[in-house]
Amino acid sequence: MPLGDAEYMDRALSLAARGRGLTSPNPLVGAVVVSPDGVVVGSGYHERAGEPHAEIHALRAAGGAARGATLFSTLEPCCHTGRTGPCVDSILEAGVARVVVGVEDPNPRVRGGGVQFLREHGVDVTVGVREAQAARLNLPFFVRVRYGRPLVMLKVALSRDGYVARRSGVRSAITAPAAVRDAHALRAEFDAIAVGSDTALVDDPVLTAREVHRVRPLTRVIFDSRLRTPPASAVFGTRDAGPIVIVTSEADVAAVPERAAALEHAGARLLQAPRHDLPSALRVLGAEGVTSLLLEGGPRLHAAAWEARVVDRVRLYVSPAAFGAGGVPWFTTGASVREALDDVDVRMVGPDECTEGYVHRTD
């Protein structure tokens, strides 16, 4: 018995997720071709930016069986020529009778144009099947198109009593090895990972994704308006892992040109935002092609991001250990952040509790 539109779209969504961490700055897209009697005759997903889109993979797999069939695509088929040709042309050439779309493409170059083109050429089109799931799958893409900045995920590890370190200026291990591995797997999904200059000074992190498979280089970002990052920092010893970017301002580079020159000599690329505020800095990163940013610390940077309303997702690791008096507090209580989250997932990672959710927005 043939499945319904929603079930076939679920298959396409599962396929799309296989491209996670590989397609940026392009979205994740999956496609399934189904014959009139309900048989899946072709499927595929967008595997890497610059390579064929999901619809093309699915149509090639279907071959002649695509004629008269239904194509399910998680995102509206493109109608413009970028690094690849428009998918709508291939859909027409294959003789597809019906197209079911998960969500309309927010890209101004498409935005309903693919659907309109197909309908004008006699293809029956349905839009909005599993729309929320399809949009959530590509939240980085949607955020970048809508706001001109990367999706920002705030990640923090806390002691049971809400501290990020045992005392000020001291690097502190908080979570157990299982949670550390879990966090490195998360890093592998993002275009970039970022910390503030305080964290760079105290922790001297290398900001790499370790013990996980990652195909693309990982961009390491330090938000450093005063250019305090030492040129001898450990991160500069890992330049083969990916670019090292220091986000600062035009005024600060002009004020301390010798520091700027030393950091560039060490291997950093300086991105100069026009203003000191975090939204401006994030837009500079978005313009550089960064679609997803994992914001790892510290409290001052987390506070600035939260107050600027640029946090889209949150992951909290909470250790069973307590640090007691003298600990360095996070910028706010974990409870208040949890109250702002939708679709909350709570799980145990070894002895540590991991809470993750999307930030509820009304704008």
- Could you read off the pLDDT of 53-84 as tens digits, one per residue? 999 999 999 999 999 999 999 999 988 766 66
**Confidence at residue 3, expressed as pLDDT on a 0 to 100 scale:** 77
Instruction: Please give the average per-residue pLDDT across 238-264, as a whole number.
Output: 93
192 contacts 294 by C-beta, under 8 angstroms:
yes
CA 311 to CA 30: how far, in whole Å? 27
270 contacts 249 by C-beta, under 8 angstroms:
no
191 has pLDDT over 60: yes
CA 317 to CA 175: how far, in whole Å? 7
**Confidence at residue 82, expressed as pLDDT on a 0 to 100 scale:** 63
- Give the angle 87-91-93 at the CA atoms, nearest 5°: 115
Domain 149-359 matching CATH 3.40.430.10: the answer reads yes
Active site residues: 55
CA 289 to CA 149: how far, in whole Å? 9
pLDDT band (50, 70, 90) for residue 122: very high
**Confidence at residue 1, expressed as pLDDT on a 0 to 100 scale:** 47
User: DSSP of 115-183, one letter per residue?
Assistant: HHHHHHTT-EEEE-TTHHHHHHHTHHHHHHHHHSS-EEEEEEEE-TTSEEESSTT-----S-HHHHHHH
**Confidence at residue 33, expressed as pLDDT on a 0 to 100 scale:** 98
**Confidence at residue 84, expressed as pLDDT on a 0 to 100 scale:** 63
Structural domain boundaries in the chain:
5-137, 149-359
* Share above pLDDT 70 across residues of the chain, in percent, rounded to a whole number: 96
**Confidence at residue 266, expressed as pLDDT on a 0 to 100 scale:** 97
**Confidence at residue 334, expressed as pLDDT on a 0 to 100 scale:** 55
CA 346 to CA 344: how far, in whole Å? 7
209 contacts 218 by C-beta, under 8 angstroms:
yes
Note the pTM of the prediction, 2 decimals. 0.88
3-state secondary structure of 248: strand
CA 124 to CA 99: how far, in whole Å? 6
**Confidence at residue 86, expressed as pLDDT on a 0 to 100 scale:** 87
CA 25 to CA 21: how far, in whole Å? 10
Domain 5-137 matching CATH 3.40.140.10: the answer reads yes
* Share above pLDDT 90 across residues of the chain, in percent, rounded to a whole number: 76
CA 173 to CA 151: how far, in whole Å? 27
User: DSSP of 17-63, one letter per residue?
Assistant: GGGTTTSTTSPP-EEEEE-TTS-EEEEEE--STTSPPHHHHHHHHHG
pLDDT tens digits, 290-305: 999 999 988 999 999 9
DSSP-derived letter for residue 314 is E
What is the average pLDDT score of the chain?
92
- Per the model's pLDDT, the better-predicted residue between 86 and 31 turns out to be 31
363 has pLDDT over 70: no
350 has pLDDT over 60: yes
